[in-house]
Amino acid sequence: MKNLLLCLSFISIINSVFSQVEHHSHSSNRKIEFPDIEGYKTLICDFHIHTVFSDGEVWPSIRVKEALRDGLDAISLTEHLEYQPHKNDIPHKDRNREYEIAKEHAKNHDLIVVNGSEITRSMPPGHSNAIFLNDSNKLLVDDVLEAFQETKRQDAFVFWNHPHFLSQAKDGVARLSDMHKELIRKNLLHGIEVVNDQSYSDEALQIALDNNLTIMGTSDVHELVDWVFKVPEGGHRPVTLVFAKEKNAQSIKEALVKKRTVVYFKDFLIGRKEFLVPLIQTSLHIEEVKYRDDTAVLLVELKNESDVDFILKNKMEYTFHESGDVIVVKSKGSILLNVKVLERKKSFNLKFEVLNAILAPDVHPEINFNIEIK
């Protein structure tokens, strides 16, 4: 009995070690990955990040290291211009300083660091990020409209931060004020966060669609990315997927202005149809098609190249032999479908509604695969 207990104890220890190694291996594969779409590179970007140069808790170099580990292509450290809670400990007159530090730490890496700042005012207009700035110091003025005018003089890209922020919208509903309408009309506001940190806003998405604003999603991280978004447990920061012609700052800015974005948030994708559907279609592809022996049941292997676990609802006239109408295609995995096509065909159309992709409030895209059977 004693030997049996020792043996069982040893097996338990070995299993524990293998379990930890397996978990570590999974958590170390943290890079956010999506395929390119036709004509564009899919760039992973986070344009709302804080450090100790405003109300964050880390040095700018840490933000560069986190971005590199997450596989990001571009970041912007957008410190609060007006709100400087660490000024007694880190006094600085230059609002470009955190950008300069981050850019220096990123110079030997394939990471684009964009100069940006957060215009921090009460509602309206609330908080807004200006990125692709030349000099953030010039935005530090009393008149908020003058601050926005200065962003225009510097040809910056400006987006409204967390419009559903509970401290500014007590019911959590994003609404356009007259000032926001004026900023949009004067081309001083170009985008809006539909995702910020842990939250998503249907109303902000509708505002983007109604007012032709760029759809944005950001981490707005103040502490460590790993802590806030539970990266070691398989989580990820929210990001904006930018569809750029090239991987450089100028192409990213052009893509933002042209509204070529999709937001990746938890296990959801949010964006306009002309970019969201091609991204899904490129992420999912048919690996193998064949009939089961001499039956009229067609085996279709569907493979997923993206970081999202796609939740798909069958929209065909045919049903599946071994699953219900809702299936999940795991990230970097595949699923084998048994389609009851009723009679042996040379071609047919595989059609799904993508339940964890959002085009508008309560609107999900549909995707099609035209399959030729050899």
User: Rounded to an integer, what distance in angstroms lies between the CA atom of residue 181 and that of residue 187?
Assistant: 10
Residue at 9: amino acid letter? S
Check if the beta carbon of residue 124 is closer than 8 Å to that of residue 174.
no
Check if the beta carbon of residue 130 is closer than 8 Å to that of residue 157.
yes
Among all chains, which residue has been given the structure tokens 């949010």?
270
pTM, two decimals, is 0.91
Among all chains, which residue has been given the structure tokens 């409204």?
160
Q: What SS3 state is found at 328?
A: strand
Domains, the chain: 30-266 (3.20.20.140), 284-372 (2.60.40)
pLDDT of the chain, 374 residues: tens digit per residue: 444 333 434 334 334 333 333 333 334 579 999 999 999 999 999 999 999 999 999 999 999 999 999 999 999 999 999 999 999 999 888 999 999 999 999 999 999 999 999 999 999 999 999 999 999 999 999 999 999 999 999 999 999 999 999 988 899 999 999 999 999 999 999 999 999 999 999 999 999 999 999 999 999 999 999 999 999 999 999 999 999 999 999 999 999 999 999 999 999 999 999 999 999 999 999 998 999 999 999 999 999 999 999 999 999 999 999 999 999 999 999 999 999 999 998 998 999 999 999 999 999 999 999 988 87
Q: How far does the chain reach from its first CA to its final CA, in angstroms?
A: 61
